[in-house]
Amino acid sequence: MKILITDGISPEGAKILPDAGFQVDKVKLTPEELVARIGEYDSIIVRSATKVTKEVIAAGKNLKVIARGGVGLDNIDAAAAAAANITVLNTPGASAVSVAELALAHMLTVSRFLHVSSMEMRQGKWPKK
């Protein structure tokens, strides 16, 4: 199976796929280049930058899987993929820990008035109360 990765991948993922016997090409392509080359591949792995449009899907004569390393599918034409009988995958829980950490950080910021202190320090103030 030949896999195209267009938006980068973790070092672990970059090692796992070839070790499992997949041929992997990691290439950043323009939309036009993607349409021209997608026919060579059985699968494409994207993140947020690459748009997998209906034109890309139509040109992907060998495509079986479109995978997104991310929560949504906003950059993939899922309807066109379904019509072409191509499986679309994503990683819905990938950012759950980061979102939880950010939510807690914001709660601490508001409860301890860190945002106010930050603004005051930028104004050269150092109020103690």
Quick: pLDDT tens for 43-60. 999 999 999 999 999 999
The H or E element that residue 5 is part of is: strand 2-5
Can you tell me which residue has the tokens 């070092």? 11
Q: Average pLDDT in the 19-42 region?
A: 97
Q: What value does the mean pLDDT of the chain take?
A: 94
Does residue 49 contact residue 7 with C-beta atoms inside 8 Å? yes
In the structure, what pLDDT confidence band is assigned to residue 23 with cuts at 50, 70 and 90? very high
Digit-coded pLDDT (tens) for 74-94: 999 999 999 999 999 999 998
pTM of the model: 0.79
Is the predicted pLDDT of residue 29 greater than 90, yes or no?
Answer: yes
How far is it, in rounded angstroms, from Cα 101 to Cα 104? 5
How far is it, in rounded angstroms, from Cα 69 to Cα 17? 14
Dihedral angle sign, alpha carbons of residues 37, 43, 46, 52: positive
Does residue 20 contact residue 3 with C-beta atoms inside 8 Å? no
In this structure, of 7-11, 16-20, 121-125, the range with the lowest mean pLDDT score is 7-11
How far is it, in rounded angstroms, from Cα 129 to Cα 126? 9
Please tell me the predicted confidence (pLDDT) of residue 46.
97
Digit-coded pLDDT (tens) for 89-118: 999 998 899 999 999 999 999 999 999 989
Neighbour-count burial for 88-109, b at 16+ CB within 10 Å, e otherwise? bebeeeeeeeeeeeeeeeeeee
